[in-house]
Amino acid sequence: MFINPLLAVGVKYALTSYEKWRVSDSVRFNSMPYNKFTSVIVDSGLFTYLWGKKSHINYDKNFYHNYLDNYSKFIETSRFENMRYVELDVQEKLGVDFAWELREKLVDRFGKDKIINVAHVIDGDPTDLIAYADYLAVSVTPTIKKYGIAYYYQYIEFVYKQAFTHNTKIHLLGVTRPGDSRLCYGATSCDSTSWFTKISFGSYSSSNYFYGKNNYLDIRSLDNLRSLLEEIETLKNVSLGRNDSERYRYYAAYTAFLHYQRIDPNTVT
């Protein structure tokens, strides 16, 4: 089971996606040990349709209404009390007003304490959305790419100040580069799947965040990697996978976890 090794090495917070589970039955989803995490965020999976491999199709509003209905049914079947569900943030493509329409339907159905709302630059001044939300996600990488890091620091500092005033929790959505975790200094949480994505495409060495640094977990070959995994399995008394492909993913998660553990958010300048 792919969750158990993460729990075994000490990971307390997890991210999963509705897109991953919507094709599976709810029995399998509810059989997973997500309840052992302190908190789990469930992404809506919309990135695939808005910007990912299915974005070439022009989806109308009816598609998103149906998507919201199915997403809501999925939430209702969940047995996990430690989960928060990210809303359908369609404002970049379908406009701010339609995003608010979907937002209010989801919140009316489940309450603000179950939903993570999402702010994008296109929303304009985020003050009203910060005041509305209990938990608000703010995208990172797309905003930095479009407006630059200097702009993002100003933007996120404003968000943090407003969030403190309104007692709103902030999540940074998609902290792609490990160094960008410095931006989390005022956030309740942040997420990154870059460690997983890289190794999924065969770049196992670049997913080791200690690669080449003081020879700590310095992996130079597949044999070296296999040996390290065997040591981890023995030390932690866990199995990191049924085959090398699975085990490399756990290795990426393990080294990423070690890296993020060592970051002191108070060192941000």
pLDDT per residue over 168-226, tens digit each? 999 998 876 666 777 888 999 888 766 665 555 555 455 444 343 443 455 566 677 77
What's the pLDDT score for residue 213? 43
Confidence of residue 84 (pLDDT cuts 50, 70, 90): very high
Q: Please check whether residues 43 and 62 belong to one and the same domain.
A: yes
Q: Please check whether residues 198 and 145 belong to one and the same domain.
A: no
What's the pLDDT score for residue 124? 93
Are the beta carbons of 4 and 46 closer than 8 angstroms? Answer: no
Amino acid in position 124:
G
- Could you say which of 193, 219, 239 is where a domain stops? 193
Q: Please check whether residues 103 and 228 belong to one and the same domain.
A: no
What's the pLDDT score for residue 262? 63
Q: Please check whether residues 36 and 151 belong to one and the same domain.
A: yes
Report how many domains make up the chain: 2
- Could you say which of 193, 211, 239 is where a domain stops? 193
Query: For residue 266, what are the domain limits?
Result: 194-269
Q: Please check whether residues 185 and 214 belong to one and the same domain.
A: no
Question: CA–CA separation, 43 vs 40, rounded Å?
Answer: 10
What's the pLDDT score for residue 161? 96
Q: Please check whether residues 51 and 133 belong to one and the same domain.
A: yes
Model pTM score:
0.80
Which residue has better confidence, 135 or 6?
A: 135
State the SS3 of 151-207. HHHHHHHHHHHHHHHHCCEEEEECCCCHHHHHHHHHCCEECCCHHHHHHHCCCCHHH
Residue 133: CATH number of its domain: 3.20.20.120
Which residue has better confidence, 231 or 255?
A: 231
Q: Please check whether residues 178 and 217 belong to one and the same domain.
A: no
Q: Please check whether residues 187 and 202 belong to one and the same domain.
A: no
Residue range 9-37: mean pLDDT, rounded: 87
Q: What is the mean pLDDT of the chain?
A: 82
Q: Please check whether residues 223 and 98 belong to one and the same domain.
A: no
Q: What is the pLDDT of residues 153-171, one digit of tens each?
A: 999 999 999 999 999 999 9
What's the pLDDT score for residue 211? 45
CA 161 to chain centre: 23
Question: CA–CA separation, 48 vs 33, rounded Å?
Answer: 26
Which residue has better confidence, 244 or 81?
A: 81
Q: Please check whether residues 247 and 144 belong to one and the same domain.
A: no
What's the pLDDT score for residue 134? 97
What's the pLDDT score for residue 204? 47
* 140: pLDDT strictly greater than 60: yes
**Taking the CB of residue 100, how many other CB atoms lie within 10 A of it?**
16
* 47: pLDDT strictly greater than 50: yes
Residue range 34-40: mean pLDDT, rounded: 95
- Could you say which of 171, 193, 215 is where a domain stops? 193
Q: Please check whether residues 87 and 211 belong to one and the same domain.
A: no
Q: Please check whether residues 70 and 118 belong to one and the same domain.
A: yes
